[in-house]
Amino acid sequence: MADAKVSDGTQLTNMPLTGKIYVDDSGVDKYVNFDDLTETGTFTPRIGDGTNNYTTTISDGYYTRVGKQVTVYLRLDWTSIGSAASTALYIDDLPYVSHNSATYRAAASFSYIAGVDNGGGNQILGHLNYNADRINFYYVNDNAAATAILADTSSATGNIQLTISYQVA
């Protein structure tokens, strides 16, 4: 047993730590399974310039949502960039739109990336802006602002695997 506080500040004592949470509802003891507070699923991410998407052979997305926190893992393999324009490269169609606050940002962590222009050996960043469901790509410049990676600069074939956690509204 342990003590905990709920969002309104109410102190809960002797809360069982058995994968369930105690909820005080007008003096009635209730238990909610943590599994009822989570959601898991799949989605189909797209990569390209938003109008002209790359031709993908693998386009797998998995997510887990716990409350307002979403964690995404995705993999994209492509065999052609088609007629992608000289505009920003991004991965589109994340399962949820991110938190809508002008100060909110989230960063992607790449487990593998190949075929994406890195501006001559610079580090690549994945960036989720506020109130968005897409990851933008940038590369880091020395002592300067990051540069957006353009969709038409990727190799004809490539692969991206990444994870990102972000808050939703």
Structural domain total, the chain? 2
Per the model's pLDDT, the better-predicted residue between 142 and 108 turns out to be 108
Residue 101 sits in the same domain as residue 66:
yes
Residue 23 sits in the same domain as residue 51:
no
Residue 15 sits in the same domain as residue 97:
no
Residue 85 sits in the same domain as residue 61:
yes
Predicted confidence (pLDDT) per residue in 37-95, tens digit: 789 999 999 999 999 999 999 999 999 998 889 999 999 999 999 999 999 999 999 99
17: pLDDT strictly greater than 60: no
Predicted confidence (pLDDT) per residue in 90-115, tens digit: 999 999 999 999 999 999 999 999 99
Predicted confidence (pLDDT) per residue in 155-167, tens digit: 999 999 999 999 9
Residue 34 has a pLDDT of 60
Residue 23 sits in the same domain as residue 55:
no
Residue 25 sits in the same domain as residue 104:
no
Residue 82 sits in the same domain as residue 58:
yes
Domain that holds residue 14: 2-37
Q: Which pTM does this prediction carry?
A: 0.79
Residue 18 sits in the same domain as residue 52:
no
Residue 140 sits in the same domain as residue 157:
yes
Per the model's pLDDT, the better-predicted residue between 147 and 18 turns out to be 147
| Reported confidence tier of residue 169, pLDDT bands at 50, 70, 90 | confident
Residue 54 sits in the same domain as residue 121:
yes
φ and ψ of 52, to 5 deg: -110, 105
Residue 73 sits in the same domain as residue 130:
yes
| Reported confidence tier of residue 20, pLDDT bands at 50, 70, 90 | low
Residue 54 sits in the same domain as residue 126:
yes
